[in-house]
Structure 1
Amino acid sequence: MHLFENYFIDVNGYNTRYWSVGSSPSIILLLHGFALSVEFWSENILELSKDHKVIAVDLLGFGQTDKPKSKPKLENHPLFIHEFLKKLNIKKVKIIGHSMGGLISLKFSQMFPEMVEHLVLIGSPGFRTDIPIHLSIFSLPFLGEIMVKPNKKGLENALNRNTFNKNVIKKEQIELLYNYSLNPQMNKVLLWVNRSAVNIFGIKKHIVKTIKKEIHKLKMPVMIIWGKEDSIIYVSHAHAGKELIQHSRLVIFENCGHMPQIEYPEKFNEIVLDFFSQ
């Protein structure tokens, strides 16, 4: 696992961690998935930073970024990213968002289309409502509270459920996430964030409805990347996204789960760099 230097910046009163690698005027912004952190881009950053400056940020409440003081709404996350970029004096970015980070990237690109040069969505919710039942159960009172308790074995199982090829998640990544989960506020944040977007029926209908209604704002080039065997956000969501964003490019990785960038980093990096060069 490649580790890079930690930088911290104050965003709306929250101490926010990010990595910044490379010196090109062309900037790639990486937004990680639910419960993850910047370390989950460690196989992509070096390659992507050869032609671009790469900035990976710990989203509000995750990794080493401060925990929110109150229940964040979905809209708070794109606004947080907007403020983060403003603080770094960045006017334009190419965004790559994974899973929850994909949903945030999608919302950000609809709210601030003039700032987004290219958009890459990996296994991103937002196009359909159906998700696996265990993610819906997590949103229920009491049951969510039980499921969210720190548990290393449970965490390892959850991460393995994210991938088709087992053992691609490194031991130190599991250790790292487990340590993050021991933060006394982490449980609350995971439940808040999950419940802001999910209920027992899946992704909340109004979220998908709003995304569909504002899909016309995505004038920038869009690429949708998915693992064919994704058991977290099903590949049917990728096809729904392609149908909605007519001009988008769809790439499906065979024998791959919810984390193409980790399961097939070389192929992922190559496809993305090629897309950004057009």
Structure 2
Amino acid sequence: MSDPRTRALRPVPDTEPQLVFRTIHGYRRAFRIAGSGPAVLLLHGIGDNSSTWSEIIPHLAENHTVIAPDLLGHGRSDKPRADYSVAAYANGVRDLLSVLGIDTVTVVGHSLGGGVAMQFAYQFPQMVERLVLVSTGGVTKDVHPLLRLVSVPVVNEMLKLLRVPGAMTAVRAAGAVVARIHGSPLRPGAMLHDTPDLVRVLGDLPDPTAYEAYLRTLRSVVDWRGQVVTMLDRSYLTENLPVQVIWGAQDSVIPVAHAHLAHSAMPGSRLEIFADAGHFPFRDEPIRFLSVLEDFLASTTPLEFDADRWRTLLIDGVGEADITGSPETRMAVLGAMGSDERSAT
């Protein structure tokens, strides 16, 4: 059986994305753009960049305008000493879309980009037509032990050694040791599934400014206990918004249990689990990922924002009746929402 990561997707002529630059607030923002039609925004994860979507963009661009930015501090975008919180990233996304003259989008966010996508939908609900969350951050605390370790101020200095020959092997070994110490909610055999991609991301830090931007971003969302931001307390606001959740069952960075929590907390959302994929399902299984995404786009109606309905949702808040799923999942969602350690934005 062929490896889905090496199988060729269908030929797509004349839809290769261009890498474009715009200066906003004095900082250069890089982004890939291709196609025409309704806009789809692709947001990458921490330490990654827009090239992570390279297999997906040309196919989406057949029927859509696809915008994939390098978030500030990542890729070819500038890396200033700045605010790298999910709220600041959401503001940056709004500014880029405004510069491009795009009023509404379907937002697809992976990992950190999923947290940014949720924050963007919360801050600028009038701009979001649909929401796709891919192995997203910001659900509850669990996260890869290596990221917890790197967030510790003294330990994170080890990142500077990643370019030393043999360092990547040491990082893999350290991640496995820490995982055994802390225990793991992951399926047997899943622990090291994502190590190559995780090490790829860590190893792509090319200079001190990229290194500092990565650490500032990481510390805004992760500490030694795990993730520090949750979207569960505001998930009820997606009541009328088409939402698709996609996760890999072998995800060793953010456990697949988070997919069920997010799905339970968002009324009417769709859930798709890729049994053999890890934290990067769009890289592990690009054909299936594209099929799920295209079906979601074709079978749902873009949300038209209703300010009165939004106000009513905020006033009424969330109740137990708004949470679906098994009793265990519902209790887990309520427990995560009630935690005194969660951080609201």
How high is the TM-score relative to the length of structure 1? Answer: 0.88
**SS, match of residue 23 in structure 2:** strand
Are 1:33 and 2:45 matched, yes or no?
A: yes
Counterpart-to-counterpart distance in 2, 1:148 and 1:271: 39
Does the C-alpha gap of structure 1 residues 32 and 165 become closer, same or farther in structure 2, counting only changes over 3 Å? closer
Paired residue for 1:86, among 93, 98, 106? 98
Structure 1 position 202 matched with structure 2 position 226:
yes
Using the alignment, how far apart are the partners of 1:213 and 1:224 within structure 2? 17
Structure 1 unmatched ranges of 5 or more: none
Question: Which residue of 1 is the match for residue 149 of structure 2?
Answer: 137
* Residue 27 to residue 264, structure 1, CA distance change in 2 (3 Å): same
Q: 3-state DSSP class of the match of 1:62?
A: coil
1:254 corresponds to 2:275: yes
Q: Contact 1:33–1:98 at 8 Å: present in 2 too?
A: yes
Q: How many residues align?
A: 265
| Distance (Å, rounded) in 2 between the aligned partners of 1:113 and 1:51 | 24
For the residues of structure 1 that align with 2:191 and 2:57, how far apart are their CA atoms?
21
- What are the ranges of 5 or more consecutive residues in structure 2 without an aligned counterpart? 1-5, 7-14, 173-189, 300-345
Show CA shifts across 1:135-155 (max 9, x none). 111111110121354427656
Measure the CA separation in 2 of the matches of 1:20 and 1:61. Answer: 19
Describe the SS at the equivalent of 2:245.
strand
Compute the displacement of 1:187 (Å): 1.3
> How far is 1:215 from its partner?
1.7
Asked whether the 8 Å contact 2:40–2:64 carries over to 1, the reply is yes
CA distance in 2, matches of 1:96, 1:163: 25
User: How far does the alpha carbon of each residue in 1:182-228 deviate from its partner, in whole angstroms, 9 at most, with x for none?
Assistant: 22211111111111111111011xx21xx223222223100000000
SS at match of 1:138: helix
Match for residue 189 of structure 1 among 199, 213, 219:
213
Distance change (3 Å), C-alpha of 1:250 and 1:151: same
Distance 2:266 2:295 in 1: 20
Quickly say closer, same or farther: Cα 1:148–1:107, change in 2 above 3 A: farther
Give the match for residue 35 of structure 2. Answer: 22
Q: Which has the larger radius of gyration?
A: 2
**Closer/same/farther in 2, CA of residues 71 and 114 from structure 1, 3 Å limit:** closer
Instruction: Please show how residues 6-155 of structure 1 align to structure 2 within 5 Å.
Output: 6-24=19-37, 26-151=38-163
Question: For 1:5, which of 15, 18, 26 is the aligned residue?
Answer: 18
Counterpart for residue 267 of structure 1: 288
Give the alignment partner of residue 251 of structure 2, picking from 220, 230, 249. Answer: 230
**SS of the residue aligned with 1:190?**
helix
Instruction: Give the C-alpha shift of residue 277 in structure 1.
Output: 0.8
Distance 1:163 1:213, change over 3 A: same
SS in 2 for 1:6: strand
**In the aligned structure 2, how far is the partner of 1:79 from the partner of 1:240?**
26
2:194/2:279 contact within 8 Å kept: no
User: SS of the residue aligned with 1:277?
Assistant: helix
Distance in structure 2 (CA, Å) of the matches to 1:213 and 1:102: 16
The answer as to whether partners of 1:162 and 1:258 remain within 8 angstroms in 2 is: no
Quick one: distance in 2 between partners of 1:148 and 1:194?
15
SS in 2 for 1:121: strand
CA contact (8 A) 2:236 2:267 kept: no
Q: Could you tell me how far apart the structure 2 residues matched to 1:49 and 1:34 are?
A: 24
Q: Is the alpha carbon distance of 1:195 and 1:57 closer, same or farther for their aligned partners in structure 2, counting shifts above 3 Å?
A: same
Question: Would the aligned equivalents of 1:163 and 1:257 in 2 still touch at CA under 8 Å?
Answer: no
**Amino acid aligned to 1:12:** H
Question: How many angstroms apart in 2 are the aligned matches of 1:16 and 1:154?
Answer: 31
Q: What is the rounded CA distance, in whole Å, between the counterparts of 2:68 and 2:162 in structure 1? A: 25
- What secondary structure does 2:244 align onto? strand
Greater mean deviation of Cα atoms: 226-235 or 47-56: 47-56
Deviations 1:119-148 (A, max 9, x none): 101100111111122211111111012135
Q: Structure 1 counterpart of 2:18, which letter?
A: E
